[in-house]
Amino acid sequence: MAAGGADKFSVLLPTYNERENLPLVVWLLARTFRESGNNFEIIIIDDGSPDGTQEIAEQLQTIYGSDKILLRPRARKLGLGTAYIHGMKHATGNFIVIMDADLSHHPKFIPEFIRKQKEGNFDIVSGTRYKGNGGVYGWDLKRKLIRLYRKEVLQKLMEKCVSKGYVFQMEMIVRARQLGYTIGEVPISFVDRVYGESKLGGNEIVSFLKGLLTLFATT
């Protein structure tokens, strides 16, 4: 087990048609980790995007180096849950960060997750949207949450999980509680995204509603 200062964080970034967002997400992640002095790698798992996401990822790898950007593409769209499982096989960090490439969250919250983990020695740290200054109550039903996991905890949870799509992240937390893992929470605001409402407003809400319907249809 790596000592406190020697922790390494592997960010799993599943992508599908994210060529516009990916350079910005990677830049923000790299800057966040460098400023906070944490060792990191970003594993991009592209599911055969037809929009050229993979080509952009290759350019980013050239810019940041193949030790920081790992490309682990798949031939076609196989779902979120399996993307994480695929990415995990290649992760060299002892902590895993799960987040979306669509800029629904600002990577600047990650150092708070890392601090929280150290503070309580938690197995998992999850972003919540209704704690204190965390923004709108109830939005945590949406699957887009930043999460930090101890690698071995995430591996155990993945063995137990049956969901493959949207509900995957919800199931992970339910199973973690069943198995007695400790979960720390960091309030993150829904509005504190990289882009303002005009860019993400409408489809953000639509994707939320779709996610909700899927969740209720499968629980």
The CATH number of residue 26's host domain is 3.90.550.10
Give me the number of domains the chain comprises. Answer: 1
Residue 87, domain member (yes or no): yes
- DSSP string of 14-40, one letter each residue: EESS-TTTHHHHHHHHHHHHHHHT-EE
Q: Is residue 2 domain-resident?
A: no
Phi, psi of 98 (to 5 degrees): -110, 125
Q: Report pLDDT for 138.
A: 44
pLDDT at 211: 56
Question: How far apart are the C-alpha atoms of 103 and 109, rounded to whole Å?
Answer: 12
In the three-class reduction of DSSP (H, G, I as helix; E, B as strand; rest coil), residue 56 is classed as helix
CA–CA distances in Å: residue 180 to residues 124, 153, 173, 192: 11, 11, 11, 31
pLDDT at 67: 96
| pLDDT for res 140 | 44
- Scanning the chain, the segments in alpha helix (DSSP H) are 22-36, 53-64, 80-88, 110-120, 151-160, 168-178, 197-218
What per-residue confidence (pLDDT) applies to 79? 80
Query: Could you tell me if residue 164 is inside a domain?
Result: yes
pLDDT for 213: 62
Whole-angstrom distance, CA of residue 138 vs CA of residue 86: 30
In a domain, 98, yes or no: yes
Domain of residue 92 covers: 7-218
Exposed/middle/buried for residue 38 (C-beta within 10 Å: 0-12, 13-18, 19+):
middle
Per-residue pLDDT at 6: 87
pLDDT < 70 stretches in the chain: 1-5, 129-144, 164-166, 189-219
Report how far residue 207's alpha carbon sits from residue 200's, in angstroms, rounded to the nearest whole number: 10
Which amino acid appears at position 99 of this protein? M
Q: Partners of 44 in the beta sheet?
A: 13, 71
pLDDT given for residue 217 in this prediction = 58
What DSSP designation does 141 have?
Answer: G
**64 CB-contact burial (10 Å; exposed 0-12 / middle 13-18 / buried 19+):** middle
pLDDT at 14: 92
24 is a domain residue: yes
